[in-house]
Chain A
Amino acid sequence: MIPEDLKYTEAHEWVQLVSPGVVRFGITHFAQDSLGDIVFVSLPEEGTAVGQGDACGEVESTKSVADVYAPIAGTVTARNDVVETSPEAINDEPYGNGWLIELSVEDESALEALMDAAAYKAHTEGQ
């Protein structure tokens, strides 16, 4: 449940470089499983500038709410409308249809500082 080709944050988000200068991110399988059934999602407007680690949205399940943090600095270029109308997509396909936000980023190299799949696996096993 931890795809090899993605990068990961300590806050249980996955990040993917989808085209030069554009990353897509969402929450991991581990995160959605910990939250339980997700019923509300709020995401930032397109054009919102975010710094690395900034809270930029919320994912709320029947039992708890979690902030969404920007994995690297950038500007919101797309938000996944699917998860706002069908939040269960995050539970069903956290790495697919359940993605959250796309950012245009100036410094792609910031991705390199994030965890790879093996490091993230070790991170989740520590929790």
Chain B
Amino acid sequence: MLADTNDQIQDSEPQQPRQGPLHQRHVDLGAKLVDFAGWLMPIEYEGVLKEHMYVRESVGIFDVSHMGTVLISGQAASALADVAFALDVAAVASGKAAYGLCLNESGGVVDDLLIYVRSNTEIMVIPNASNADKVVSALTEVRDSNSEFADIEIADVGIEFAILAVQGPTAGRVLAEAGYPTELDYMSFIDIDDVTVARSGYTGEYGFELVVPTAQAASVWDALVEAAKSQDGGPVGLGARDTLRLEMGYPLHGHELAPDRMALTAPVGWTIGWDKPAFIGREAIVAAKEQGTDRKLVALRFTDRGIPREGMAVVNLSGEEPREVGVVTSGTFSPSLKAGIALALVDTESVANGDELAVDVRGRQLATERVTLPFVDSNPRVVPA
């Protein structure tokens, strides 16, 4: 029965996974725990479907403390970030956060991250768990290669902070009940008593992310979970985090973005500071913009019953005979649509608009329709009535 499992979240590091500051809370809640990027994290508490719908219909609380926290501080901190990251950091106002990429010289993606601009002299970056050290290296390299940046401090402070997300239509009530402000524009943040509260998230719903000093993590978590339960919500694991982000078509590093793949194969052009004179990877990505990319991401919704999984082949059924044209980078069952959904990387020249694409699910070619993202009708910018 369980001989042929295909877990999407796999052990990536051989050593014992680290336990985050809320580990005991997850154990007490009966969570299933998995090794995720070297951290023992909750994949689900009550089941992916139920937790997914908490977020779409009421509210869910996530522990994403495995994600990193990096501080860039000192004169010209913003200027350093502008060289290290493709985002136009200088254009981000103080008190705003923005999604951006850290590229390598060939235009591949070292990591995708949230960049919080406190001021020109202090920037906080939230990289993915497994990429924090690479982002620190990229920043350090930029600092050490330019005397203008010599005094800037780059600190990996991930161990000092828990990161919690409160996501869903009633997230505002939960935050208010826990004593935090909710009057924030989309992608704005505020620092209160060492806690950073941002109007951001990775689910497509209205919501907030909190960066909390480790010592306060348990009390803040308890307050949020209790408030969420009174709103018919509850804690949500990484399983539903993945189905939620995929319903929005949000890219995930290691799936839609990778160091050895041109960033523009994914729809991330909007994050690039095209007018900036210099940033790492600029030459490669500008060339790719002009010439186009040989592969591109497409969004597929199954019309047949079945679930696409990462690594499955995409087959073009239009034309004289079926031919393999790409591969699924992320696939899942959409709890909202009750259908399989996938992001897939396909050869640009082998797929024309209107072509019929199938996914090979263990030898069966299941029919799909190409859709425009997001798969579901959610918008995190909209404040619920």
Contact = CB atoms under 8 A, between A and B. Distances in A.
Interface stretch (B43-51, B72-80, B152-160): B43-51
B62 to A, nearest CB: 17
Contact of A66 (B4, B32, B239, B333): B4
A36 B1 contact: no
A11 B333 CA distance: 24
Interface residues of A, number: 26
Interface string B1-39: 111111111000000000000000000000010000000
B335 interface: yes
Of A27, A42, A63, chain B has the most CB atoms within 10 Å of the CB of A63
A64 B6 contact: yes
Contact of A36 (B44, B306, B338): B44
A54 B235 CA distance: 40
Contacts of A88: 49
A84 to B, nearest CB: 9
A64 B32 CA distance: 15
A32 B100 CA distance: 40
Given A36-B239, A39-B49, A39-B333, A64 B1 contact: no
Contact of B332 (A34, A59, A62): A62
Given A39-B49, A40-B307, A64-B7, A11 B2 contact: yes
Nearest to A59: B1
Contacts of A27: 1
B5 A65 contact: yes
Interface string A33-54: 0111101101000000000000
A8 B335 CA distance: 32
A9 B3 CA distance: 12
A68 interface: yes
Main SS of chain B's interface residues?
A: loop
A65 B1 contact: no
Interface string B321-361: 00000000000110100100000000000000000000000
B1 A40 contact: no
Contacts of B332: 62
A62 B4 contact: no
B369 to A, nearest CB: 18
B3 A62 contact: no
Interface string A44-87: 00000000000000011011111111000000000000000000
B4 A65 contact: yes
A40 B305 contact: yes
A68 B1 CA distance: 5
A63 B7 CA distance: 6
A37 B47 contact: yes
Contacts of A28: 1
Given A12-B2, A65-B5, A40 B48 contact: no
Given A11-B3, A65-B4, 12 more contacts: A34-B2, A35-B2, A40-B306, A40-B307, A60-B306, A60-B333, A62-B335, A63-B43, A63-B239, A67-B4, A68-B1, A88-B49
The 3 closest A-B pairs by CB, nearest first: A12-B1, A62-B48, A64-B5
Interface of A: 9, 11-13, 27-28, 31, 34-37, 39-40, 42, 59-60, 62-69, 88, 91
